[in-house]
């Protein structure tokens, strides 16, 4: 942890942000408090391709990339071009018995408004286009300023927003939903994929690469430097025990006031020793999600009309229909995303809330792992909502063949969002708080 800083020789003509990592621009140790277990550690020197993990729970504290600003800028620009292509050309078309329809990407949301589903429409367009677009523009704005050697106006506010936008971008989930939709329609009509479909596939992949390319530690150091660590801070113990906390946005360790509150001196984020009323808020969101899950399964999520005959379909009914069609893999995907994942999240988070006060060092690691899995899988439940949005927009041939959204679409979308919020409001550091954390094998030190 306390190795000598790495030395990199400057390259003439290259931006300093891309040739000098934080380790070589400061002689002080840079402290970090793990966001999942609150352990206070000093970041070691990192080479490109290396990462620093918490020695207590294994959470990744920092990941170093080669040429981070140029890398993120190139990927963000490419992703933005792919997004513009995806919304400018036809997405997919179908033809059945001489009757067909062709849609653009944005129609997957706008068509829902005509069926009195504005909230579902807003959720769809935000998660697949608007929020990813804002995220990419933010990345381009930030990296442009860093490459010029002078951060552009509002850079700190934009950098803060990137971490908050990340969980709500679901372009990759939408692609899976599109594939499921096309498989369901393929047996009834001839499908033709447009340029927009392939552009959106490229966009989803590039967006994923862009989010993974962000070196948050390097970016924040380049934007605002790093104030000296609070006096007397000791590594090898928890931050809360010393009246400290790590900023969840930029990572800087700050000292809290007597009430356990404060603001980050680097990015301005509001700080608390622990998320206020974490368990109460998580329980409230879980209870609401559980209630919404009932109409989400009882009412039809969509109604299919074929030759004048209407057939409403629930979530489970759709899975059974896919099995009868012989599409076992697709049925498995829908069953896992729409049944196993939501129920699993409700059960897992409820169990964590119940046992959090009885956690100890022996079981805290496994419970933290369960929390990570629960937080990661939640967004994938949106597959069914995206399937409905695509089919409603695409299958519009009147009484011959059409699909309309059911009331369960809104209820199920609410379940997905509520369970994601529940995972966000649960503070995993509570798992490690009782009994008081102590690791006799870790050497303590005083910050320099």
pLDDT band at 299 (very low <50, low <70, confident <90, very high): very high
Structural Rg of the chain based on CA atoms: 24
How high does pLDDT run on average in the chain? 85
What's the structural domain count of the chain? 1
Q: Which long-range contacts (CB under 8 A, 24 or more apart) does 438-445 make?
A: 438/237, 439/39, 439/56, 439/236, 439/237, 442/55, 442/235, 442/236, 442/237, 443/236, 444/234, 444/235, 444/236, 444/237, 445/2, 445/42, 445/234, 445/235, 445/236
pLDDT tens column, 147-180: 888 888 999 999 999 989 999 999 999 999 999 8
pLDDT tens column, 83-99: 999 999 999 988 876 67
Q: Is 316 helix (H, G, I), strand (E, B) or coil?
A: helix
Q: Which of 193-207, 343-357, 434-448 has the lowest mean pLDDT?
A: 434-448
Flag whether 175 is in a domain. Answer: no
Flag whether 181 is in a domain. Answer: no
Give the residue-averaged pLDDT of 48-74: 89
pLDDT of residue 327: 76
Buried b / exposed e along 153-169 (16+ C-beta atoms within 10 A): eebbebbbebeeeebbb
Residue with tokens 């439940």: 381
Residues 6 or more apart whose Cβ sits within 8 Å of residue 123? 385, 413, 417
* Chain centroid offset of residue 340 CA: 19
Give the residue-averaged pLDDT of 42-58: 89
Q: Which CA distances in Å does 251 have to 161, 165, 229, 356?
A: 14, 17, 12, 25
Q: Which of 44-48, 293-297, 339-343 has the lowest mean pLDDT?
A: 44-48
Flag whether 410 is in a domain. Answer: yes
| Structural domain for 380, as ranges | 273-435
As a whole number of angstroms, the distance between CA 214 and CA 11 comes to 22
Q: What is the CATH number of the domain that holds 374?
A: 1.20.140
% of the chain surpassing 70 pLDDT: 88
Of 394, 416, 412, 392, the residue nearest 112 (C-alpha): 392
Flag whether 350 is in a domain. Answer: yes
% of the chain surpassing 90 pLDDT: 48
pLDDT band at 364 (very low <50, low <70, confident <90, very high): confident
pLDDT tens column, 212-238: 999 888 889 888 888 888 888 888 899
Looking at the predicted structure, is the pLDDT value of residue 330 above 60? Answer: yes
Looking at the predicted structure, is the pLDDT value of residue 446 above 80? Answer: no
pLDDT of residue 106: 92
Flag whether 345 is in a domain. Answer: yes
Looking at the predicted structure, is the pLDDT value of residue 267 above 60? Answer: yes
pLDDT of residue 44: 87
pLDDT of residue 195: 93
Report the phi/psi class of residue 243: left, alpha or beta, with left for phi > 0 and alpha for psi in -120 to 50. left
Flag whether 112 is in a domain. Answer: no
pLDDT of residue 21: 67
Flag whether 335 is in a domain. Answer: yes
Of 90, 85, 192, 92, the residue nearest 394 (C-alpha): 92
pLDDT of residue 149: 80
Looking at the predicted structure, is the pLDDT value of residue 352 above 70? Answer: yes
Flag whether 302 is in a domain. Answer: yes
As a whole number of angstroms, the distance between CA 101 and CA 420 comes to 35
């Amino acid at each position: 942890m306390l190795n000598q800083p790495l030395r990199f020789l400057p390259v003439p003509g290259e931006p300093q942000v891309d040739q000098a990592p934080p380790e070589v621009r400061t002689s002080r140790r840079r402290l970090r408090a793990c966001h999942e277990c609150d352990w206070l550690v000093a970041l070691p020197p990192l080479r490109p391709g290396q990462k620093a993990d918490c020695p207590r729970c294994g959470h990744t504290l920092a990941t170093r990339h080669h040429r981070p600003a140029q890398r993120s800028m190139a990927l963000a620009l490419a992703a933005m071009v792919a997004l513009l292509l995806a919304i400018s050309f036809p997405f997919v078309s179908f033809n059945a018995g001489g009757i067909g329809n062709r849609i653009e990407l944005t129609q997957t949301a706008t068509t829902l408004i005509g069926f009195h589903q504005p909230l579902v429409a807003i959720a769809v367009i935000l998660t697949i286009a608007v929020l990813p677009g804002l995220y990419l523009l933010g990345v381009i704005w930030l990296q442009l300023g860093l490459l010029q050697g002078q951060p552009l106006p509002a850079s700190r506010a934009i950098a803060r927003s990137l971490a908050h936008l990340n969980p709500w971008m679901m372009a990759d989930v939408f692609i899976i939903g599109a594939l499921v939709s096309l498989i369901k329609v393929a047996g009834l009509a001839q499908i033709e994929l447009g340029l927009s479909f392939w552009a959106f596939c490229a966009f989803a992949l590039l967006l994923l690469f862009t989010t993974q390319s962000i070196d948050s530690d390097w970016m924040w150091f380049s934007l605002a430097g790093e104030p000296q660590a609070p006096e007397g801070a000791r590594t090898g113990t928890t931050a809360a025990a010393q009246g400290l906390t790590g900023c969840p946005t930029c990572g800087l360790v700050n000292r809290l006031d007597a009430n356990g509150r404060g603001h980050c001196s680097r990015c301005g984020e509001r700080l608390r020793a622990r998320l206020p009323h974490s368990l109460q808020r998580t329980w409230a969101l879980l209870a609401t999600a559980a209630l919404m899950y009932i109409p989400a399964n009882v009412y039809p999520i969509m109604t299919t009309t074929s030759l004048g005959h209407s057939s409403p379909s629930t979530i489970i009914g759709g899975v059974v229909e896919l099995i009868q069609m012989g599409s076992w893999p697709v049925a498995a995907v829908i069953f896992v995303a729409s049944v196993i994942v939501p129920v699993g999240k409700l059960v897992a988070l409820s169990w964590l809330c119940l046992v959090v006060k009885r956690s100890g060092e022996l079981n805290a690691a496994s419970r933290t792992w369960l929390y990570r899995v629960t937080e990661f899988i939640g967004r994938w439940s949106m597959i069914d909502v995206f399937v409905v949005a695509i089919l409603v927009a695409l299958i519009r041939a009147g009484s011959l063949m059409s699909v309309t959204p059911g009331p369960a679409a809104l209820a199920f979308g609410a379940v997905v969002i509520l369970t994601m919020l529940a995972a966000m409001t649960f503070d995993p550091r509570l798992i490690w708080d009782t009994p008081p954390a102590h690791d006799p094998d870790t050497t303590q030190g005083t910050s320099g």
